[in-house]
Amino acid sequence: MAFPQPDLADAPDTLPRMPPWVTSARAETLEDVAFLSGSALATLHLVVGRDDVPHALLSDRLSLTASEACIRMLGRSERAGEIRDAVHLLRPGDQAGPAGAIYLQWQRATARPISVKALQRALPYATAEQIATWLDMGRGGPVMRAATVLETVLTTHPREEVLALILADAVLAQSLGWTHVLPLLATGLKSRDLRMRGTDLQLACHKALVSSIGVALPVAADLTRRAADLQAVIPKLRAKGAADAVALFLSKDALSPAIALTGRTGMSDRAARRFCDRLVGLGVVRELTGRDTFRLYGV
C-alpha cells in the first residue's frame, strides 16, 4: 500500500463497498468469522490499492480513531477533539500529554513504510532486536500472525497495549503486502479482548476486523470525495504556498494555521488564517473545533 501524491481530479463518487452480508451475518465459529474478515480485508485491499484514495490522510484519520480507542482501554477520558488539540496545538519544544503521546505514536507508526527503524520511531522503548523478532513472529494467515504477536507482546508486557496493537497492525499490514501500517485491530478490539489467548483471541481479531473495516471503508470513500473537491479548487487559489498547504491538508487529519501552515508553507500567520477561511468558504475544508480561537482545520 504505497502513499503517492494522487491526482484526484477525476476521483469517482464511490469506492468498492463491503458486501452487506459481511456485516449482517451472525457468525460465531472461528471458521465462519474468518471467512467474513477475509471478505472484509479483500474489499479493503482493493481500496488501498487505488491511487485516487488519499492514503496518508486516511491513515492519519484512522490513527486518531485508534488513539481514542487505546486511550479508552487505558481508562482515560480524552476524546477525538481533545486528542487533536494535544498534538496539533503543540509548539516547538512542547511535550505532549499522555493522550497526545499515544496519537503521536500512531502517527509515527503509519507515516513511513513498515521497517524496524520506522517502528522504533513510534516505539522508542522497544529495542530494534525486539521489533525485528516480533515482525517475523507467527505462522499462518495474516490475522493468525497478528493475533500471535498481540498475545506474545501482551504476555511479556501486559501493560503495553499500545505497543502490542501497533505491532499487531504492522504484522497484519506486512502479511497482506501493504507497505504502510493501517490502524485496524486497534479500532475494533476491546479491553476484554486483549485478555484473551489462543483461538479466543484469534476469533476476537477476526470480529474486530469486520467491525473496523466496516467503519474504515465509508471513511475512505468520504475522504476520497473531499480530497477530489480540494484538488479541484487549486486553480482558484492564488496565495503564496497554496500548493504546499493543499498537500498538507491531503496528508493530515487536522492543521493549525498558526503552527502547521506558517511553519511549512512560508505563509504569515494572518495569511494562513485567511487561506483556511477561503477553503472553508469554498466548501472544501472544515473548521473542526467550533472555537473562535486556536482553531483547527481539516478536509
Cell numbers given for 262 = 506558517
Q: Decide: helix, strand or coil at residue 26.
A: coil
Give yes or no: residues 215 and 166 share one domain. yes
Give yes or no: residues 199 and 55 share one domain. yes
3-state helix, strand, coil in the chain (%, to 5): 60, 0, 35
**Close Cβ partners of 149 (under 8 Å, ≥ 6 residues apart):** 134, 135, 137, 138, 164, 167, 168, 171
Q: Which of the listed residues 203, 222, 241 is the one where a domain comes to its end?
A: 222
What is the per-residue pLDDT for 13? 56
Cell numbers given for 103 = 496519537
Q: Residue 274 belongs to a domain with what CATH number? A: 1.10.10
Give yes or no: residues 169 and 210 share one domain. yes
Rg for the chain (alpha carbons), in Å?
19
Residue 15 inside a domain? The answer is no
Please state at what angle helix 161-175 crosses helix 142-156, rounded to 10 degrees.
160
What is the spatial distance between Cα 234 and Cα 236, in angstroms, rounded to a whole number? 5
What is the spatial distance between Cα 92 and Cα 17, in angstroms, rounded to a whole number? 41
Tally the domains of the chain: 2
Q: What is the DSSP letter of 29?
A: S
Q: What is the mean pLDDT of each run of 10 residues along the chain (299 residues)?
A: 38 74 82 94 95 96 97 92 94 87 97 96 94 90 96 94 97 96 96 95 96 96 96 89 92 92 84 94 95 94
Residue 119 inside a domain? The answer is yes
Residue 4 inside a domain? The answer is no
User: Which domain range does residue 121 map to?
Assistant: 29-222
Residues 55, 60, 64, 69, CA torsion sign: positive
φ and ψ at 55, to 5 degrees? -60, -45
Q: Which of the listed residues 167, 198, 222 is the one where a domain comes to its end?
A: 222
What is the spatial distance between Cα 259 and Cα 189, in angstroms, rounded to a whole number? 34
Q: Whole-prediction pTM value?
A: 0.90
